């Protein structure tokens, strides 16, 4: 069994289509991809994928196999990354990722904590969706990330903040006249839901709406804050979103708090338990200092 077999299998499982996986993800021919999948199933000894007119789906055996396949690839990529770092020991690299928009709040304090080490390290900063940050951590591409506690990755998480959800709406929406908004007032409004990729946030929102006893039918699902704000303004919709997005709002949208006990979502720092970076160890020893520094700046 070769690594390409695992990559091909995961690509087909995630796209649900041999054609799409071959053309868009793997840049190979469909017959070649089909042969590789058959070779993998012969080596495993069971059928991993079922083919039908609707596309390709995982069999029960495939569902059991895919998590281990992902983990195997992640471990290989982490090993490659570790080897590359070891080959350039002169100056250590420390890579920090942020859920897009959170760097505005947390990066200054991160750099302050690392200030004494900066002559000896290169700090690499990036921003992305939370699931993508978790994947980068698992693969050894990032040392630390500010993200949601994504459940499908074998990572360590530590809560650094809890953000309330707020209502986002067009700046001239009638509800902007309210100081705070009841969840029942969202019923009947066009609603932008979080896409499945942002499932940690989506779960918090869905749970809140269920507990509030209301049902809202979404008109669209997205996972990018910038796209959310654009759609809210252009389609005159509303949505629920973490309060940090208020730092990114254009003039065309406005926010209001929820009345009563607004739901919150955790912001965590995540890292691989197997990461032996001395800089990571130093940083983790100063997390309380980091939280206090951000709280003081925001007060």
Query: Tens digit of pLDDT for each residue in 132-151?
Result: 999 999 989 999 999 999 98
In this predicted structure, which of 50-59, 206-215, 282-291 has the lowest mean pLDDT? 50-59
Distance CA 133, CA 168 (A): 25
Distance CA 67, CA 138 (A): 13
pLDDT at 88: 63
Query: Tens digit of pLDDT for each residue in 172-186?
Result: 999 999 999 999 999
pLDDT at 71: 79
Topology (CATH) of 3-83 = Arc Repressor Mutant, subunit A (1.10.10)
**Average pLDDT of 165-177?**
94
In this predicted structure, which of 49-53, 135-139, 210-214, 278-282 has the lowest mean pLDDT? 49-53
In CATH, what is the architecture of 161-265? 3-Layer(aba) Sandwich (3.40)
- Looking at domain 90-160+267-298, its CATH class is alpha beta
**Looking up tokens 């350039």, which residue turns up?**
88
Q: Please determine whether the domains at 3-83 and 161-265 fall in the same fold group of CATH.
A: no
What ranges do the domains of the chain cover?
Answer: 3-83, 90-160+267-298, 161-265
Radius of gyration of the chain (CA): 22
Distance CA 77, CA 70 (A): 11
Residue bearing the bigger pLDDT, 258 or 41: 258
pTM across the whole model: 0.69
**Average pLDDT of 111-118?**
84
Contacts of 58 (CB under 8 A, 6+ apart): 13, 48, 49, 50, 66
Distance CA 229, CA 223 (A): 11
Q: What is the mean pLDDT of the chain?
A: 86
Residue bearing the bigger pLDDT, 296 or 158: 158
Query: Tens digit of pLDDT for each residue in 43-95?
Result: 888 888 887 767 788 888 888 888 788 878 888 888 887 787 677 656 678 99
Q: Which residue in 226, 183, 228 sits closest to 206, CA to CA? A: 183
């Amino acid at each position: 069994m070769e690594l390409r077999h695992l990559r091909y299998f995961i690509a087909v499982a995630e796209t649900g289509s041999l054609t799409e996986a071959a053309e868009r993800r793997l840049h190979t021919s469909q017959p070649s991809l089909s042969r590789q999948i058959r070779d993998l199933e012969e080596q495993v000894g069971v059928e991993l994928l079922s083919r039908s007119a609707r596309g390709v789906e995982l069999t029960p055996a495939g569902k059991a196999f895919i998590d281990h396949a992902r983990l195997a690839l992640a471990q290989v990529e982490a090993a490659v990354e570790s080897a590359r770092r070891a080959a350039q020991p002169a100056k250590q690299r420390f890579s920090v990722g942020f859920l897009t928009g959170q760097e505005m709040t947390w990066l200054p304090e991160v750099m302050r904590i690392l200030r004494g080490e900066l002559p000896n390290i290169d700090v690499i900063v990036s921003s992305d969706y939370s699931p993508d940050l978790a994947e980068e951590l698992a693969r050894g591409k990032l040392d630390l990330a500010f993200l949601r506690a994504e459940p499908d990755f074998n990572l360590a998480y530590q809560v650094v903040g809890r953000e309330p959800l707020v209502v986002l709406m067009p700046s001239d929406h009638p509800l902007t006249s309210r100081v705070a908004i009841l969840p029942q007032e969202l019923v009947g409004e066009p609603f932008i839901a979080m896409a499945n990729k942002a499932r940690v946030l989506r779960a918090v929102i869905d749970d809140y709406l269920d507990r509030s006893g209301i049902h809202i039918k979404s008109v669209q699902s997205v996972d990018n804050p910038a796209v959310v704000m654009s759609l809210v303004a252009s389609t005159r919709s509303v949505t629920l979103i973490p309060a940090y997005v208020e730092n990114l709002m254009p003039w065309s949208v406005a926010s209001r708090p929820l009345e009563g006990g607004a739901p919150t979502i955790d912001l965590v720092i995540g890292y691989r338990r197997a990461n032996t970076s001395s800089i990571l160890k130093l940083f983790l020893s100063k997390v309380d200092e980091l939280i206090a520094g951000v709280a003081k700046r925001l007060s």
